[in-house]
Every structure is written in structure tokens, then in C-alpha cells.
Amino acid sequence: MIRIKTYEEIEQMKPAALLVGKTLAEVSKHIEPGVSTETLDSIAEEFIRAHDAEPTFKGYEGFPASLCISINEQVVHGIPGKRTIKEGDVISIDCGCTLNDWVGDSAYTFAVKGIKEEDLKLLRVTKESLYKGIETCLIGRRLGDIGFAIQSYCESFGYGIVRELCGHGLGHVMHEDPSILNYGRKGTGAKLREGMTIAIEPMVTLGNKEVVFHNDGWTCTTMDNSTAAHFEHDVAITKNGPLILSSFEEIENAIASNNNLEII
């Protein structure tokens, strides 16, 4: 069942969505070669709790951490641990915050200095595809239009669209109906309605689209070990068009002042 929100509820969702961006900005100040992913996770958890919020991911279906940190060929759901960041790494970080009983869920992929040019381009195109998807979020359009916009843009660069994972509705819980696929056909699927709130999150690969799920129960990697990227925004469908509830602004300000990171 798709849970429609009032404009008042959409306003209430903003602080949770914005806190995710602030958390990712805080984390990105600490991304440098040698730092462990569990250190980044601790920084996020402390920051979220200091803002009177809960890390939504921690304990979600048994997930052990506050962030999903997925490096290079890892697509999503990487578990933070002892692994350290290296020059040239591609670091996808997904974060969820529950604040005042609303959930925010957003992801950004970071480029560590020394990144290969082809990987940097993948990140740029994946981020652009997210906005192509968002542009279609107009009352009366259909779910398939979002997927089509993302898929056709990414495939025009020869990239793969992961099929096994997708975006979702969100609200009081992280995963509501409907599923927001990153592929699809124009004019198909449920109609977009005023008051729908959804997380759009293209997961895109430099090579083949096939993925593998690992026996830690979480980590998803590309089957051909090619690099993957993941960007996610929370979006409300309103009479004035798509309203992006999350924000990359503070993340990108933090990236600009971190010499270890490349601007996407």
C-alpha cells in the first residue's frame, strides 16, 4: 500500500532527510587513505545520536552498523570493519536517520584522490542519472518513467543497471511501497500521485550489470569485479513538481575542502 503524505507530513520528513546529508558531510571530512571503515561508521553513529536521532540501519534486519560502506566493486550493503581506505578508491556510503519518527535515507559515492578517470566518469553519470529520474517525478507520470530515465541515460554510456536492488517509498519506516526500479518502460507502472514520498537510488556498474550477494548476508558486489556507484535522494511528489528532501550541498562543501577527495 502506498502511503500518501500531507504537505505538513512532508515538511516533517525534511529534518530526517537533511540530517543524513549532514552526517555524510561529517563523515566525508574524515575520508583519507588509511582510515578504517569502522572509524567512519563510529563518526556517523556519534553524530546522528548527538542530533537526537537514531541510526536507522543499525539493527535493521540484523545489519550491524550505522552506515553501509561499499568500496570499488562492492555495489551496496558493505559492512564497516577493519578495511582501510586507499588512494584511488571509490567509496559508496549509504546512511539512514530516524528523527521525530520519520526516516531519511540517502547515499553518495566518494572519489578518493588517485581515482581512475573511467571511475570518476561513472560517478558523474550515476549522479546525473539520479536527477534525470527525479525530473520525471511529476503528478500523473508513472513509475516506469523514473526507471526509464535512469536506465536510458546510464546505458547510453555503456554502463550496467543493477536489477536486484531498487529504491522505495519511505516515511515512518525506511521501506514502504512502491518499489522504485532503476530500469523500466515509459508510461508503465503505477501513477505518481501528489504526496508520494520516495527514495530514488540508481546503482550503476562500469561493466556487466550482474551482481553477487556474499555470505556475510549483506555485501553485494559486481560479478565481473567492475566498479559500482550509488547515489540516493528522498523526493516528495508535489503540485509544484519534485521536491528533494535530502541534500548533497553540505557533502559537496566538505568534499571541496578535503584534499583527499576528488569533486564529482
**Which parts of this chain interact with Mg ion (CB under 5 A)?**
94, 105, 107, 199, 232
| 157 contact partners, CB below 8 Å, separation of at least 6 | 121, 125
Interior angle at CA 251, CA 175 and CA 205, nearest 5 = 60
Closer residue to Mg ion in complex, CB, 16/260: 16
Minimum distance, C-beta of residue 145 to Mg ion, in the bound complex (Å) = 19
Minimum distance, C-beta of residue 197 to Mg ion, in the bound complex (Å) = 12
Minimum distance, C-beta of residue 26 to Mg ion, in the bound complex (Å) = 17
Sign for the pseudo-dihedral over CA of 258, 200, 51, 195? positive
Instruction: Give the closest residue to 10 by CA, choosing from 171, 176, 233, 173.
Output: 171
Q: Are 14 and 100 in contact (CB under 8 A)?
A: no
Closer residue to Mg ion in complex, CB, 154/235: 235
Backbone angles phi, psi at 232, to 5 degrees: -145, 130
Instruction: Give the closest residue to 131 by CA, choosing from 183, 188, 201, 180.
Output: 201
Q: Which amino acid is at 178?
A: P
Q: Are 97 and 55 in contact (CB under 8 A)?
A: yes
Helix, strand or coil, per DSSP, at residue 79: coil
Q: What's 68's DSSP letter?
A: E
Minimum distance, C-beta of residue 167 to Mg ion, in the bound complex (Å) = 6
Closer residue to Mg ion in complex, CB, 90/199: 199
Closer residue to Mg ion in complex, CB, 125/235: 235
Closer residue to Mg ion in complex, CB, 202/260: 202
Minimum distance, C-beta of residue 223 to Mg ion, in the bound complex (Å) = 22
Closer residue to Mg ion in complex, CB, 168/260: 168
Minimum distance, C-beta of residue 20 to Mg ion, in the bound complex (Å) = 8
